[in-house]
């Protein structure tokens, strides 16, 4: 069982607050992408990018706050390098989402929404699991809960790989032009990368819990 972290912080929860806020922002960005793909519009307009940019900026601000707190705080809830690693891993989620939406905003063809929607369902599930894992760091937790959450992440990652392979197979066997095939394959792979980012963040949480168990 994880040692009570509040004793180390002197009842200060600032790092937990910031990391949880970062995880929630990462989750919000994936949900935002899922909502945009469900809209009736033919594509994501360039003007819609602002919502995703703002989400990424919020998370970047949180990451900067974490760095500032590390610089002026003597006692931290767990190792400084682990706090930094988790902060960076969480920030990469909204950053990758923003990159996908940038590509979608300039894509000239008709977007195959059904395939992307399946991918976004899985990325939202993965981001929800990561947010849950980060919250478990507050005050101590059982390794069993973290291990169960990590199993969910691994299952989601496996499903995402299957979905991406099926989508690419459909492209290869379809009649789309070569340029469209390359563009869509790149978009599918970028979407799958978000789930990889979730896995990376989850792995950092697991490492932290193992060190303090």
92-114 tens-digit pLDDT: 999 999 998 888 888 877 777 77
Distance of CA 207 to the CA centre of its chain: 18
Pick the closest to residue 62 from 84, 83, 85, 87 (CA basis).
87
The per-residue pLDDT for 7 is 47
- Across the range 24-41, mean pLDDT stands at 83
Q: Which CATH architecture has domain 5-212?
A: Up-down Bundle (1.20)
| Range 1-23 average pLDDT | 69
Q: Is the pLDDT of residue 5 over 50?
A: no
Report residue 108 as tokens. Answer: 């000239």
- Please enumerate in sequence order all residues whose Cβ is within 8 A of that of 204, keeping only pairs 6 or more positions apart, or say none: 82, 85, 86, 89
Contacts of 89 (CB under 8 A, 6+ apart): 197, 200, 201, 204
Average pLDDT, the chain: 86
- CA 32 to CA 51: how far, in whole Å? 8
Angle 147-150-155 from CA coordinates, rounded to 5°: 130
pTM of the model: 0.86
For residue 161, give both structure tokens.
């790989």
Q: Which pLDDT belongs to residue 6?
A: 47
Residue 48: band (very low, low, confident or very high) from pLDDT cuts 50, 70, 90: low
Are 211 and 5 a contacting pair, CB within 8 Å?
A: no
For residue 93, the number of C-alpha atoms closer than 13 Å in the C-beta half-sphere is 36
Q: What is the pLDDT of residues 162-208, one digit of tens each?
A: 999 999 999 899 888 888 889 899 999 999 999 999 999 999 999 99
Asked if residue 141 has pLDDT above 80, the reply is no
Q: What angle do CA 59, 63, 64 make, to 5 degrees?
A: 115
Average pLDDT of span 138-158: 88
Query: How confident is the model at residue 44, as a pLDDT?
Result: 54
Q: What is the dihedral of CA 183, 126, 28, 82, to 10 degrees?
A: -110
Mean of pLDDT values over 15-37? 92
How high is the pLDDT of residue 175? 85
């Amino acid at each position: 069982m994880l040692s009570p972290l509040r004793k180390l912080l002197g009842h200060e929860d600032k790092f937990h607050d910031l990391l949880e806020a970062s995880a929630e922002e990462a989750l919000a960005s994936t949900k935002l992408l899922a909502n945009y793909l469900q809209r009736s519009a033919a594509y994501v307009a360039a003007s819609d990018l602002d919502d995703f940019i703002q989400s990424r900026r919020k998370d970047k601000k949180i990451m900067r706050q974490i760095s500032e707190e590390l610089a002026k705080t003597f006692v931290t809830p767990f190792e400084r390098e682990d706090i930094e690693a988790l902060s960076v891993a969480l920030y990469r989620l909204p950053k990758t989402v923003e990159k996908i939406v940038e590509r979608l905003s300039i894509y000239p063809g008709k977007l195959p929404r059904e395939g992307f929607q399946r991918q976004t369902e899985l990325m939202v599930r993965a981001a929800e699991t990561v947010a849950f894992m980060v919250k478990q760091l507050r005050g101590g937790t059982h390794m069993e809960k973290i291990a169960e959450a990590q199993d969910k992440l691994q299952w989601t990652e496996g499903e995402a790989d299957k979905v991406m392979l099926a989508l690419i197979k459909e492209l290869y066997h379809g009649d789309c032009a070569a340029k469209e095939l390359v563009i869509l394959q790149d978009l599918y792979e970028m979407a799958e990368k978000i789930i990889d980012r979730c896995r990376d963040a989850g792995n950092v949480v697991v490492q932290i819990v193992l060190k303090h168990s």
